Amino acid sequence: MTLLELKNIWKTYTLGSAQVHALRGVSLSVNKGEFLAIQGPSGSGKSTMMSLIGCLDLPTKGTILLNDIDIASMPESQLAQIRGKKIGFVFQKFNLITTLSAVENIALPMIFQRISHNEQLKRTIALLHQVGLGDRIHHKPTELSGGQQQRVAIARALATNPDIILADEPTGNLDSTTGRQIIELLVTLHNNSSKTIILVTHDDELAHYAQRIVYLLDGKIHKEWRRR
């Protein structure tokens, strides 16, 4: 069953008089429960594509269907709702709120969804255990290692039980062992909860944890293959 469909997506940035075509007619369809990796050289448009799928930005041209709803021209208020309910982000730089503790960071998306405090607490504790951080709940991000911060970020991405996890180079700031552990955590998640996961990575080895790999080049899908 198709969860996400990109139809001839263009994204053009205008910098002064110069135009940068970050994406040039990308079409892609992702099934529910699929684990997809996106690869490609720097500047090929991977992050751009992720931010369009994640409703952080709108394409210059084209259609993006999420659950058969076109999100390519939605107003910001509805995009915020989709981001909050259906999408979980994991960033290369962890992007935790530094003034909040681990639990508070994980609870934040639930606050924006008006989820009750009891429910927030229950889910937060469960998520912390799920990512293997049961003993670090009141630590601030600065008091956690990179790997631990990324685990908190993953727990936060799962907080509102979204359909898709978007992870843009989640291992980019981690050493290879920690990076592998993080990817294995995502794989476990995928196996246990059948979440759709889209992973951007430069690392061929890590990309092979995915079921399908899409290779971008100059804002186009250059090639695409399935793991056997």
Ligand X SMILES: Nc1ncnc2c1ncn2[C@@H]1O[C@H](COP(=O)(O)OP(=O)(O)OP(=O)(O)O)[C@@H](O)[C@H]1O
In the complex, the smallest distance separating the C-beta of residue 56 from Mg ion, rounded to whole angstroms, is: 13
Binding of Mg ion at residue 201 (CB under 5 A)? Answer: no
45 binds, among Mg ion, ligand X, other proteins, none (CB under 5 to 8 A by kind): ligand X
Rounded distance, CA 168 to CA 60, Å? Answer: 21
Residue of the chain from 16, 17, 42, 73 that contacts ligand X (CB under 6 A): 42
Closest CA to 224 of 26, 72, 59, 43: 26
- For ligand X, the closer of residues 209 and 215 by Cβ is 215
3-class SS string, 102-144: HHHHHHHHHHHCCCCHHHHHHHHHHHHHHCCCCCCCCCCHHHC
* CA contacts within 13 A on the Cβ side of 13: 10
Query: For binding to other proteins (CB under 8 A), which residues are involved?
Result: 51, 54, 56-57, 76-77, 80-81, 83-85, 89, 91, 95-100, 104, 108-109, 111-114, 156, 159-160
Largest CA distance in the chain: 53
Strand spans (E) along 16-136: 18-31, 35-39, 61-66, 69-70, 87-90
In the complex, the smallest distance separating the C-beta of residue 177 from other proteins, rounded to whole angstroms, is: 27
Contact criterion met (CB below 8 Å) for 191 and 34: no
Residue of the chain from 2, 8, 19, 20 that contacts ligand X (CB under 6 A): 20
139 binds, among ligand X, Mg ion, other proteins, none (CB under 5 to 8 A by kind): none
- For ligand X, the closer of residues 48 and 130 by Cβ is 48
Residue of the chain from 6, 35, 37, 45 that contacts ligand X (CB under 6 A): 45
Residue of the chain from 6, 22, 128, 131 that contacts ligand X (CB under 6 A): 22
The amino acid at 91? F
Residues forming the site for Mg ion (CB under 5 A): 47
